[in-house]
């Protein structure tokens, strides 16, 4: 099943074009990895999918991105609803300077998802459990989220993202600020999460892409060079550039 | 004479820098490795020139007048003069030697004046000779001492550190000096007026103290009900409160607008324009309050049938609030801008709108800094003088009606200290007591503000 269908997506930062004619389909309930050298546009593409590029004044997006039969670049698209459906986890853990509980309850509160304190408690608990953080923080829910370790903070951010039950989770190099143990925990978590969510992950680590993803897209200089199943991209790439990048000859 | 000497020493300093560096280059040319860059050798020699000069100059400045005075007055010793008279003679001598003496010239004083002039010229020339010879000796000594393996960088760095330390010490010592000048007068004041009467008395009427003839003996009982500071403390806080009611909402909202909503272009022009407000002298705000706002409020009030005084707390407080707006808006703008973008992204990615993000994420994160900026604004409001003097009158009424005139601590200090004062009089000392209490209040506010701001800084490190 195709979850996201992007057609002829161009992105400009001022006069500079950052993405050229991207056509990429994302499979539902699978993990899609976006790889490529720095500055190739993979994060820019990721940020198109929940319109986070709106935040940047000089950024313009052209083309269609269709999610649930609806073009999110259309004027009638409600960004608030869109971002409720499409969560995001950032490169650097960015918990709010609030308590762990408030970090999770933030999304459900602004979207009016809980009618009572009990419901909210339940959302917080399930979100933290799904993010494999519950056991570690259940006794300190009312301590600041910024006091957790880096890996725990990132799992807190994942819990925050899944608290509003998004259909898609975008992850922008979620492990680049973490040590190998925390990275392994997050990767395990990603595998778990794909049951309920469609996941798109930008990563610099090809090993990580190979470990966690079912599909891979390779970006280079703003173009999508090749995409397909992770197996095929890593074992039998069609394009010379993909092969060079994967074997570490450039990038 | 001093100027020529000084120029000469500066030139000497540059020359020794040049020689030090040249020696370093000479050492370098013999293929030896230097312990520091050549200019450190130059600085090193220049310091050996500057320090002795500085020491001798300051010693001279301290001791020369005393010694000259002793020598002059030794002619008058054993003649039964009192100390005061001797001082007078010395002052006359100095005035005559400068040609500014207008009284009766006696031969004694004339002789002293000549002696004074000759002593001064001897002192000047000996100073020049001593300074120059010591400098040359010390520079020559240092020049001989520096070699390929002598240390020059460390002493130079130490010297710089000492200079910077002295500069900061000067600021601290000034503060301490001001505090002490307040403390002693304040203590004297409270010897006459009980602390209790000052802190809890409700009548402030220092004019009553004007009537005392300073030759009369001091009678504390005549000051009862004169120095009760409650009305002016109340007035101070009341006017500051009105000012903050104007400044906090407007300042904060404009800060939030500038930081979050304004486009780069708007911000580029709007921020300096708002900061111009901070550059207007408070006297000008005073005009504005006294001549424009005050009468305007009076007119409006009268048309509504209210009795409004032309000098009202509302006019002074309102204009003071306008004066404080740029502090709050500029500081809170800085604080809000320094909230990391990642927090905004995190909130937007959850589907929060701009106002939700500001209200729930950015504002709480920036709150300590905003509180700090508000407290700094409050301490400005409490310390503000000119606007109150011009626009709110000088009568210390104990009132909470913003349409009446009240007075503040600062305005009362002005009232007390302009014109003639007798030192040692409770009326004058009252100004010091007020100054001391004002100092304590603003000190506490500043300490709290700085604490809060500091706490905020640690948050994102």
What number is the ipTM of this complex?
0.90
Number of domains, chain B: 2
A91 Cβ contact list (under 8 Å, min separation 6): A172, A173, A174, A176, A177
CATH number at residue B369: 1.10.3720.10
B144 and B288 together in one domain: no
Closest alpha carbon within chain B to A47: B349
Query: Are β-strands A2-13 and A168-172 bridged in parallel, bridged antiparallel, or unpaired?
Result: unpaired
Average pLDDT rounded to a whole number, residues B123-130: 88
Query: Which residue numbers of A have CB closer than 8 Å to B's CBs?
Result: 50, 52, 55, 57, 79-84, 87-88, 90, 92, 94-98, 106-107, 110-111, 146, 157, 160-161, 164
B235 and B367 together in one domain: yes
Interchain CB contact of B344 with A (< 8 Å): yes
Quick one: tokens of B63?
């001791």
Give pLDDT tens digits for B300-314: 888 888 887 778 888
pLDDT by 10s per residue, chain A, length 251: 888 999 999 999 989 999 999 999 999 999 999 999 888 889 999 999 999 988 888 899 999 999 988 899 888 888 888 999 999 999 999 999 889 999 999 999 999 988 899 999 999 999 999 888 999 999 999 998 888 998 899 999 999 999 999 999 999 999 988 888 889 989 999 998 999 999 999 998 888 999 999 999 999 999 999 999 999 999 888 888 888 888 887 75
User: Does residue B231 fall inside a structural domain?
Assistant: yes
What do you get for the CA distance between the two ends of chain A, in Å?
32
The reported pTM is 0.76
Which helix (H) or strand (E) segment holds residue A215: the answer is: strand A215-220
Which helix (H) or strand (E) segment holds residue A169: the answer is: strand A168-172
What stretches of A54-146 adopt beta strand conformation (E)?
A: 59-67, 70-71, 86-89
Give pLDDT tens digits for B140-175: 998 888 887 788 888 899 999 999 999 999 999 999
B145 and B266 together in one domain: no
Quick one: tokens of B143?
């020049």
DSSP state letter for B204 = B
User: Does residue A251 fall inside a structural domain?
Assistant: no
Taking CB atoms and an 8 Å limit, are A57 and B364 in contact across chains? Answer: no
B250 and B385 together in one domain: yes
Interchain CB contact of B461 with A (< 8 Å): no
Query: Are β-strands A2-13 and A59-67 bridged in parallel, bridged antiparallel, or unpaired?
Result: antiparallel
Lowest-pLDDT choice from A219-228, B210-219, B251-260: B210-219
Predicted confidence (pLDDT) at residue B217 exceeds the cutoff of 70: no
Predicted confidence (pLDDT) at residue B459 exceeds the cutoff of 60: no
User: Does residue B455 fall inside a structural domain?
Assistant: yes
What do you get for the CA distance between the two ends of chain B, in Å?
56
Better-scored residue on pLDDT, A8 or B34: A8
Rounded to a whole number, what is the distance in Å from the CA of B275 to chain A's nearest CA? 26
Q: What are residue A147's phi and psi, to 5 degrees?
A: -85, -5
Distance between CA atoms of A240 and A238, rounded to whole angstroms? Answer: 7
User: Does residue B266 fall inside a structural domain?
Assistant: yes
Order of all β-strands in the sheet with A198-202: A86-89, A168-172, A198-202, A31-35, A215-220, A223-229
Distance between CA atoms of A14 and A38, rounded to whole angstroms? Answer: 20
B357 and B445 together in one domain: yes
Instruction: Please report, rounded to a whole number, the percentage of residues in chain B having pLDDT higher than 90.
Output: 23
User: Does residue B405 fall inside a structural domain?
Assistant: yes
Neighbours of B155 (CB within 10 A): 17
User: Does residue B160 fall inside a structural domain?
Assistant: no
Residue B120 pLDDT level (bands cut at 50, 70, 90): confident
Contacts of B345 in chain A (CB under 8 A): 52, 55, 88, 90, 94
- pLDDT confidence of residue A26: 92
- pLDDT confidence of residue B101: 75
Taking CB atoms and an 8 Å limit, are B459 and A97 in contact across chains? Answer: yes
User: Does residue B228 fall inside a structural domain?
Assistant: yes
Residue B328 pLDDT level (bands cut at 50, 70, 90): very high
Average pLDDT rounded to a whole number, residues B435-444: 90
Give pLDDT tens digits for B365-395: 888 888 888 988 998 899 888 888 888 877 7
CATH number at residue A218: 3.40.50.300
| Residue recorded with tokens 């004044």 | A57
User: Which structural domain, as residue segments, surrounds residue B95?
Assistant: 2-151
Distance between CA atoms of B285 and B278, rounded to whole angstroms? Answer: 11
Predicted confidence (pLDDT) at residue B317 exceeds the cutoff of 80: yes
Taking CB atoms and an 8 Å limit, are A57 and B343 in contact across chains? Answer: no
Taking CB atoms and an 8 Å limit, are B344 and A97 in contact across chains? Answer: no
- pLDDT confidence of residue A19: 92
User: Which structural domain, as residue segments, surrounds residue A213?
Assistant: 2-246
Quick one: tokens of B130?
């001593």
Distance between CA atoms of B122 and B154, rounded to whole angstroms? Answer: 40
How deeply is B43 buried, as exposed, middle or buried, from its count of CB atoms within 10 A (0-12, 13-18, 19+)? buried
Interchain CB contact of B361 with A (< 8 Å): yes
Contacts of B346 in chain A (CB under 8 A): 90, 94-96, 157, 160
Predicted confidence (pLDDT) at residue B224 exceeds the cutoff of 90: no
Which of the listed residues B151, B171, B188 is the one where a domain comes to its end? B151
Give pLDDT tens digits for B339-359: 999 999 999 999 999 999 999
| Residue recorded with tokens 């979050």 | B260
- pLDDT confidence of residue B461: 40
Which of the listed residues B151, B181, B206 is the one where a domain comes to its end? B151
B376 and B269 together in one domain: yes
Which of the listed residues B99, B131, B151 is the one where a domain comes to its end? B151
Give pLDDT tens digits for A151-168: 899 999 999 999 999 999
């Amino acid at each position: 099943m195709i979850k996201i269908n992007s057609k002829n997506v161009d992105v400009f930062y001022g006069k500079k074009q950052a993405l050229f004619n991207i056509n990429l389909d994302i499979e539902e309930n699978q993990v899609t990895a976006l790889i490529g050298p720095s500055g190739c546009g993979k994060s820019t593409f990721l940020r198109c999918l929940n319109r986070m590029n709106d935040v940047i004044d000089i950024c313009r997006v052209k083309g269609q991105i269709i999610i649930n039969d609806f073009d999110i670049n259309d004027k009638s698209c409600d960004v608030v609803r869109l971002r409720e459906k499409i969560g995001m986890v950032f490169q650097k853990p960015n918990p709010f300077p609030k308590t762990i509980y408030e970090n999770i309850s933030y999304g459900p509160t602004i979207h009016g998802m809980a009618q009572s304190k009990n419901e909210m408690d339940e959302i917080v608990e399930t979100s933290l459990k799904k993010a494999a953080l519950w056991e570690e923080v259940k006794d300190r829910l009312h301590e600041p989220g910024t006091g957790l370790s880096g890996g725990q903070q990132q799992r807190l951010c994942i819990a925050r993202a899944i608290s509003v039950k998004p259909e898609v989770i975008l992850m922008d190099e979620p492990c680049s600020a973490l040590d190998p143990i925390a990275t392994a925990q997050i990767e395990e978590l990603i595998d778990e999460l794909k049951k309920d969510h469609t996941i798109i992950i930008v990563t610099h680590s090809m090993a990580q892409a190979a470990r966690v993803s079912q599909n891979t897209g390779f970006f280079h200089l703003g173009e999508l060079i090749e995409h397909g199943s992770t197996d095929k991209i890593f074992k039998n790439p069609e394009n010379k550039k993909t092969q060079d990048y994967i074997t570490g000859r450039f990038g | 004479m001093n100027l020529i000497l000084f120029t000469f020493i500066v030139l000497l300093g540059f020359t020794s820098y040049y020689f030090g560096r040249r020696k370093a280059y000479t050492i370098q040319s013999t293929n030896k490795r230097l312990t520091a860059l050549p200019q450190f050798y130059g600085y090193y020699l220049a310091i050996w020139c500057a320090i002795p000069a500085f020491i001798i100059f300051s010693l001279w400045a301290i001791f020369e007048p005393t010694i000259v005075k002793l020598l002059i007055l030794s002619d008058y010793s054993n003649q039964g003069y009192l100390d005061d008279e001797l001082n007078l003679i010395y002052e006359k001598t100095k005035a005559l030697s400068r040609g500014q003496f207008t009284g009766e010239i006696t031969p004694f004083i004339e002789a002293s004046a000549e002696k004074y002039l000759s002593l001064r010229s001897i002192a000047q020339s000996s100073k020049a000779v001593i300074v120059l010879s010591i400098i040359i000796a010390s520079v020559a000594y240092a020049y001989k001492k520096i070699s390929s393996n002598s240390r020059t960088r460390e002493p130079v760095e130490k010297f710089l550190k000492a200079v910077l330390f002295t500069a900061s010490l000067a600021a601290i010592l000034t503060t301490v000096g001001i505090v002490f000048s307040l403390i002693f007068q304040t203590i004297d004041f409270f010897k006459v007026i009980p602390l209790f009467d000052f802190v809890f008395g409700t009548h402030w009427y220092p004019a009553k103290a004007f009537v005392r003839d300073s030759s009369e003996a001091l009678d504390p009982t005549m000051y009862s009900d004169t120095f009760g500071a409650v009305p002016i403390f109340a007035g101070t806080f009341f006017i500051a409160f009105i000012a903050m009611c104007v400044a906090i909402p407007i300042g904060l909202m404009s800060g939030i607008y500038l930081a979050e909503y304004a486009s780069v272009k708007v911000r580029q022009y709007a921020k300096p324009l708002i900061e111009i407000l901070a550059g207007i002298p408070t006297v000008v705000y005073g005009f504005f309050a006294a001549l424009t706002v005050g009468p305007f409020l009076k007119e409006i009030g009268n048309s509504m049938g209210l009795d409004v005084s032309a000098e009202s707390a509302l006019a002074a407080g309102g204009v003071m609030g306008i004066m404080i707006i740029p502090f709050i808006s500029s500081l809170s703008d800085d604080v809000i801008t320094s909230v990391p973008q990642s927090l905004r992204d995190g909130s937007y990615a959850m589907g929060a709108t701009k106002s939700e993000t500001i209200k729930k994420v950015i504002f709480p994160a920036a709150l300590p800094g905003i509180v700090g900026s508000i407290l700094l604004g409050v301490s400005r409001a409490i310390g503000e003088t000119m606007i109150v003097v011009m626009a709110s009158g000088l009568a210390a009424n104990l009132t909470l009606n913003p349409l009446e005139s009240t007075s503040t601590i600062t305005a009362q200090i002005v009232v007390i200290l302009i014109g003639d004062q007798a030192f040692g009089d409770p009326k004058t000392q009252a100004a010091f007591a007020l100054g001391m209490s004002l100092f304590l209040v603003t000190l506490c506010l500043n300490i709290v503000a700085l604490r809060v701001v500091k706490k905020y800084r640690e948050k994102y490190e």
